Each structure stands twice: as structure tokens, then as C-alpha cells.
Amino acid sequence: MKRTVFRSRWLPYALVLPQVAVTIVFFFWPAGKSLYLSLFKSPPFGGRDVFVGLDNFRSLLVDHEYYESVVNSFVFSGGVTVLSVALGLVVATLANQKIRGLGFYRTALLWPYGIAPAVAGIIFLFIFHPAYGVLPYFLSYVTAYEFNWLLKGWVAMTLVIAATAWTHLGYNIAFFLAGLQAIPESVMEAASVDGASPVRKFTSIIVPLISPVTFYLVVVNMVSSFFGSFGVIHAVTHGGPGGATEIMVYKAWKDGFIGLNLGSSATQSVILMAVVIGLTMIQFRFIEKKVTY
Amino acid sequence: MADARATTVGTDALAAPRVGTAERVAERRQRRFPWGSLVVHAVLLACVAVIAFPLYYAFVISTQEMSEVIQKPPRLLPSTYALENYAEAWRRSHMGRLLVNSTIVAVAVAVGKIAISMLSAFAIVYFRFRGSSLVFWMIFITLMLPIPVRILPTYEVIGNLGWLNSYAGLTVPLMASATATFLFRQFYLTVPNELAEAAQLDGAGPLRFLWSFLLPLSWANVAALFVVLFIYGWNEYFWPLLITNTEEMRTVVIGLERLIPRSGTELPTWNLIMAGAMMALLPPVAVILFMQRWFVKGLIESDK
């Protein structure tokens, strides 16, 4: 892999300059500033920052609302991940059969990926609409339970999870299909010869062999629903009802931009940084194992 | 994007994983499960229907009059008010401007990410220079610094640059891309060294080599990345919300939210909201449908 072919004193620096400039100005400097601000208390309308050490972290630790937003975040991204990865695997396994029209099915299952979670959220908002939505209407035949997301926190959570999972599903199906096509034909044939039923083949062969892909998708779906779901919350529930769908990302923005509590917002950003570093580490730890396809 | 050269390179690159199709077809002929595959088709079509339902429902509502929207039982068939609704939603949300902004942002972000990633990957692979691994790690670490970990400080930086409510502010800060850089680096490493040496013998400098050799070879990658990044740029919500506050600079995904009244006194016009949603989601979905070959390639290879 000896590759250095060209020589120039300045050219490589000029080539990396645009990327490095963007990285420093918009990533490293602001992230460093978040770290700095998390140790200070800043008056919202100017004035001098006061060093407070870990006070911002301490006050978050005892803040009941913050604790709730942490739980909400994990419920939300856990829900999205389980729903979209599990469904993705089942649907991809079905589509991976030797049947005609695989290309058609792949396209027909993949396109929701193009829809912004916020837009998907608005569509699901109407499907879940307590007065006019199609879902509460049909549920009212089954149960008298009032399926109202404006009043019941768990219904609102279900709404945003369903909308987000809908947009993630196609991505997962595409990955599972790529992974499934790499499972050797001979293994499946051997199972058939041994008289394994389709269900048995799924649980004993496909699930274990596809597990590196599954693991990868779990991490990716976790990260993207944890950090990429500001839009669906902002567009649909505004964190409500009663903070039931207020996830950490939304709260960090709200406390900073609406509440003008810069120190607390920066501290929440720092905690989010720890979460994303952890998740990225896990992802790259296992990336060597992601060799099945 | 889809010029003749791109198409051929794209086909070659995509044909590789499909080796063995002929054998599979032969096998399929040997062992037939007509009943089994009928069931599979039925189940798959049901899945397709379930996945398509929200979009179908949004479309249906967008064609109805308000009195039809609120009737019970819900009417699940399209009506005849499509034209009026779409025209009214277009007018109310200033859809023309929103779509132009989204297009500018999505294209600029995609092209910008590809361009600067291509350049830095080229420098990292084909030059030896002091700090090259530092650069590589800096680019890698951006993966761990999404917008939520730097909300207020980034806003402050944009403000200091005077970039609030500007296209520069909407696009430039999103242009760093670890994944695109890794993808190009990976691709350059598969290009035989002899090509660069031959080019050098013929007197081609590094930039000439990048432009006339590497770029034509990587069209398939560029197309695949473009599709994925275009969708990313179009659907970005947090960033435009953060740094724009005027009607003229809004992108369509955040402009849409404004169609929903938040005060209790105003009845939401759901047919118009759904018409707006349809217009906001159509461009990225159309891009997926028309460029799906590249899209799938881009998804799988860029690993997000």
C-alpha cells in the first residue's frame, strides 16, 4: 500500500484546507465553546460569565424534568430502533425469497426513506388525530379507550415513534437485503435437505448469520433517532403533552433558545456529546465484524 | 449527472455483486414452489400496502374539501378538490420560495460535501505531508459532533460571520463530511498505483490526475453520494430552523410547520396541510425512485 506518488510542499495543505476550515470553525470551536460554557453561568442578556465549576451538571442531576427527558430519549430511540430493525429484518427476509419482482419490492419498500421525519410526523399527526384521524376512528370500534395524543403521553410517544420508524424502515430493509444476499446458497440448501421449516431456517440460520448487520443497524438507528429527531418533535408535539415527548435534543434547544439558560443548554450539549461518543465507539468497535457482505 | 460515461461506470460497478444471477435463475427453474411464492407475494404486497398507506391517506386528504375531511366515517377515496387545495397551499405557504430554497440548499450541500471530501481524500491518499493523520482524525471526530452538541455556540459563530438568514449559513457549515471522505479514500485505495505512476510519467500533475483520471473513474460513487446527500440536505430540519427566522429563507420542511395553527381558535385546514406535505416530500422521493440504483449503492457504501 505504498501510495505516496505526488510531491508538493503546499498542495496537500491547500487540498485539505476547505474541509479543515469548516471542521474547525463550525465543529471544533463551537463544541469547545459548549464545554467551556458548561462550566459557567452566563447572564442571558450579556454581562460577564461566572465560573461555577460543575454546578450546571449538579443542577441537571437533581432536575426531575431532565431525568424525564433522558428516559424519553431512550424510550423514543429504543422504540424506533426495535420497531424498524425487527420489521426490516422480517420484510427483507420475505423479499429475499427466490421470487420475481425483487426490484419492484425493494423500490416499493424503500421510498419512505426520502421523507423527512418532520413531514412524516405531520402526516401521522393527522392519522392519529383524535377527532378526524382514521386510526382513533377504527380503534373506537375495538375499545372505548380514548386514543388521544393531545392528552395521553404514551399515545403521543407512539405517534412520533411510528412516524420516525416509518422513515427508517426502508434503510434497514436495504441493508438487510444486501446482507441476506451474501448468505451462501449452500447453507440454506443444507437446511432444506435436513428438513428445516422456513421458521426454523429464519431463527437458526438467518438471524445468527445476519447478526453483524443487525448490530450495525441497531447502533445506526439509535444514533440517528437520538440525534436526528429534533424535527419530528418540533413539528408535531413540541415536546408535549406535559413533556411526555420531550427528548434530550429538544430540551437542550428549548432551554437555550426559548429559556435563554445558556449554561444549562451547554451542559446538556456536553452530556449529549458523551452519549454520541459512546455510541460511535461501539459502532466502530464492531465495524470489523461487519464483513458478512 | 446521468451522462453516458456515468451510466457505464455505474453499471460495471453495480454488476460486480450480482455475479451468479445466471446460476440462480437456473436453480429457480429446477425447484419450484408455486404456492409458497404466491403466499410470499401476498404477504409482501400487504407490507407494501401498509407502508404506502400513510402517503396514500395524505394524498386522499389533500384532494378533499374540509367538510369531507372531517366527515365520519373517514372517506378513504380521493375527491375533486385537488387543484384548489394545492393552489391554496402553494399560495399560503409561499411554496415556490420554499422549494427554491430547499433545492439550493440540498444541491449546494451535496455538491459541497462531495467536492471538499474528494479533495481531502485525494490529499490524504496521494501525498505524504506533516499532519495528514491529524487531518484524518479531525475529519473523523466530526462524526461525534452533531448539531445538538453545539447548538448555541454554532449559532453564535454564524451570527458573528453575519451568515444568519443566508444561503452561506444554510449550506457551508453542513459541508464537512467524514463519511464522504472515507468513501473517497476507500475508493482511491482500490485504484492501482500504476495508474498514478503512468500519469506522472506522461507529465500529468496531481490536479490533472485528479481531474482527468480519478474523477471519471469515480462517477458512480459521486452519483451515489449525490443522491444520499441531496436527501440529507433537503430533509435537514434543525439547522435551517436554528439560523433562519425570515419567511424568505425558510426551507420547505420547516416552512410546512407554519401551516399548522397553534392557537386554539383557528381550525387547522388539514387538506391544505396535507397538500403542503405532499409537495415537500415529492422531490426527495422522486429522486429516490428515479435514481434508485445509485441510491441503494450510496446508502450501503457510505454507511451513513
What CATH number corresponds to the domain at position A256?
A: 1.10.3720.10
Cβ atoms of A220 and A280 closer than 8 Å: no
**Angstrom distance (rounded) from CA B276 to CA B99:** 11
Strand residues in chain A grouped as ranges (E): 40-41, 50-51
B25 — pLDDT class (breaks 50, 70, 90): low
CB contact under 8 A, A91 and B124: no
Residue B164 region by backbone torsions, left for phi larger than 0, else alpha for psi between -120 and 50, else beta: beta
Residue B291 contacts A where some CB pair is shorter than 8 Å: no
Most confident of A51-65, A70-84, A279-293, B256-270: A70-84
Chain A environment of B177 (Cβ under 8 Å): 19
| Alpha helix ranges (H) inside B65-166 | 66-69, 82-92, 95-126, 132-141, 151-161
Chain A environment of B197 (Cβ under 8 Å): 5
Residue B300 contacts A where some CB pair is shorter than 8 Å: yes
Tallying the residues shown for chain A, one arrives at: 293
A68/chain B closest Cα distance in angstroms? 18
User: What structural domains does chain B harbor?
Assistant: 94-302 (1.10.3720.10)
What are the grid coordinates assigned to B159, written together? 451570527
Q: How many helices (H) and strands (E) does chain A have?
A: 14, 2
Q: Classify B42 as helix, strand or coil.
A: helix
Percent of chain A with pLDDT over 90: 32
CB contact under 8 A, A33 and B153: yes
Nearest to B63 by CA among B88, B84, B49: B84
Chain B environment of A105 (Cβ under 8 Å): 44, 48
Residue A177 belongs to a domain: yes
Cis preceding-peptide flag for B73 (omega within 30 of 0): yes
pLDDT at A239: 84
Chain B environment of A25 (Cβ under 8 Å): 157, 173
Q: Which residues 152-171 of A are in CB contact (within 8 Å) with B?
A: 166, 169, 171
Cis preceding-peptide flag for A117 (omega within 30 of 0): no
Say yes or no to pLDDT of A78 above 60: yes
Out of B115, B154, B292, whose CB is closest to A26? B154
Given 3-state DSSP classes, what are the helix, strand and coil percentages for chain B, each rounded to the nearest 5?
Answer: 80, 0, 20
CB contact under 8 A, B157 and A117: no
CB contact under 8 A, B189 and A169: no
Residue B231 contacts A where some CB pair is shorter than 8 Å: yes
| Residue of A1, A8, A13, A26 best to disrupt the B interface, most CBs of B under 10 A | A26
Residue A7 belongs to a domain: no
**Angstrom distance (rounded) from CA B156 to CA B148:** 14
Residue A30 belongs to a domain: no
φ, ψ (nearest 5 deg) of residue A217:
-65, -35
Q: How many CB atoms lie within 10 A of CB B119?
A: 21
Residue A201 belongs to a domain: yes
Could you tell me whether strands A40-41 and A50-51 are parallel, antiparallel, or unpaired per DSSP bridges?
Answer: antiparallel
| Residue of B55, B76, B152, B293 best to disrupt the A interface, most CBs of A under 10 A | B152
Residue A284 contacts B where some CB pair is shorter than 8 Å: no
B238 — pLDDT class (breaks 50, 70, 90): very high
Say yes or no to pLDDT of B144 above 70: yes
**How is residue B165 annotated by DSSP?**
T
B20 — pLDDT class (breaks 50, 70, 90): low
pLDDT at A248: 92
Amino acid making up residue A249: V
- Full residue range of the structural domain in which residue A183 is found: 57-289
pLDDT at B110: 95
Nearest to B51 by CA among A94, A132, A159, A110: A110
Out of A19, A118, A129, whose CB is closest to B139? A19
B192/chain A closest Cα distance in angstroms? 9
A235/chain B closest Cα distance in angstroms? 6
Tell me the pLDDT tens digit for each residue of A23-69: 999 999 999 988 988 888 877 666 677 788 788 888 888 888 899 99
What are the grid coordinates assigned to B70, written together? 372531517
Query: What is the chain B residue with the closest CA to A118?
Result: B253
Q: DSSP letters along A61-86, please?
A: HT-HHHHHHHHHHHHHHHHHHHHHHH
Q: Classify A40 as helix, strand or coil.
A: strand
Residue A157 belongs to a domain: yes
Cβ atoms of B214 and B285 closer than 8 Å: no
Out of B122, B173, B284, whose CB is closest to A114? B284
Angle between helices B95-126 and B132-141 (to 10 degrees): 150
The total number of structural domains in chain A stands at 1
Cβ atoms of A49 and A41 closer than 8 Å: yes
